[in-house]
Amino acid sequence: MLKPPMIVLNVKTYTEATGINALILARLMEKISKETGVDMAIAVQASDITSCAKEVSIPIYAQHIDPIKPGSNTGWILPEAVKTAGATGTLINHSEHRLKLADIDTCISRARDIGLDTLVCTNNVATSKAVSTFSPMMIAVEPPELIGGDISVTTADPDIVRNTVKAVQTINKTVKVLCGAGVKNGKDVAKAIELGAEGVLLASGVVKAKDKEAALRDLISDI
């Protein structure tokens, strides 16, 4: 399990992090994580899990799993398949891949049963509270309108972070709360921690940065 403050990088389907580029980025994160002692995980495309997991020691996450069991599910993402490929955790219900309520429940249960970390994305305080009743390992609250934007959630809407932390704690104190959307630099991460979050989930701030190493180092410069 990741220990706070944790940095989870979701590389989406960006060209800058597909195939060999995913591996290069994973190696970079591994280097920085080792040097600094800050826990980092990278969520890569399903087809990139095997190569990243084979060569890199930081946690490799899937970006999504489907609420299925082994069987007739052509083209869907089997939890056991990403685990076997080397993933140690998975995002669930990302803003770009929302799930039905019953399927979030199933995905968390299935992931827990086979030993995958669970990081469930949510869009506001209310859905974060609802998800916390399922006891995932982590919840990352991300206001959809701020995702991919220039202003960090910690600046644009600090209350959503603060109130999510409070709401989740009323239900289940073991769930770690992360925040995301627009997070780009060390100041944003420091503010997230100050607001009660135990880490951040981010994507373009690193993946689209010209100098990815500098972006990663800056991220953790204030913690």
User: Which of 130-134's residues contact partners 24+ apart within 8 Å by CB, and which partners?
Assistant: 130/101, 131/93, 131/104, 132/167, 132/168, 132/171, 132/172, 132/175, 133/171, 133/172, 134/104, 134/105, 134/108
Using CB under 8 A, which of 1, 13, 57, 166 touches a second copy? Answer: 13
Annotated catalytic, 142? yes
Q: Is 133 in the site for a second copy (CB under 8 A)?
A: yes
Least distance CB 198 / a second copy (angstroms): 21
> 3-state DSSP call for residue 146?
helix
Considering the candidates 142, 145, 198, 213, report the single residue annotated as catalytic: 142
Q: How far apart are CA 74 and CA 90, in angstroms?
A: 20
Q: How far apart are CA 88 and CA 79, in angstroms?
A: 10
221 lines the binding site for a second copy (CB under 8 A) = no
Q: Does 72 bind a second copy (CB under 8 A)?
A: yes
Cβ proximity to a second copy: between 45 and 193 the closer is 45
User: Which residues, in sequence order, are bridge partners of residue 177?
Assistant: 139
Give the range of 34-42, 100-108, 181-189, 209-217 binding a second copy by CB under 8 A.
100-108
- By the rule CB under 8 A, 51 interacts with a second copy: yes
CA 39 to chain centre: 12
The answer to whether residue 157 forms part of the interface with a second copy (CB under 8 A) is no
Contact assessment for residue 82 and residue 66, using Cβ atoms and an 8 Å cutoff? no
Under 8 Å between Cβ of 147 and 187: no
Token digits of residue 35: 């040097």
Binding status of residue 118 toward a second copy by CB under 8 A: no
Q: Which amino acid is at 200?
A: V
Residue in the structure block whose two tokens are 């990352």: 140
Rule CB under 8 A: is residue 61 a binding residue for a second copy?
no
What is the closest distance, in whole angstroms, from the C-beta atom of residue 190 to a second copy in the complex? 25
The identity of residue 127, as a single letter, is T
Please tell me which residue in 94, 96, 145, 198 is annotated as part of the active site: 94
Residue 81 beta carbon to a second copy: minimum distance, rounded to whole angstroms: 5
Mask: binding to a second copy, 28-47, rule CB under 8 A, as x and -? ---------------x-xxx
Summarize as ranges the residues that interact with a second copy (CB under 8 A): 10, 12-15, 18-20, 43, 45-51, 62-64, 68, 70-78, 80-82, 84-85, 91, 93-105, 122-124, 126-127, 129-131, 133-134, 147-148, 171, 203-204
Would you please indicate which residues are annotated as catalytic (active-site) residues? Answer: 94, 142
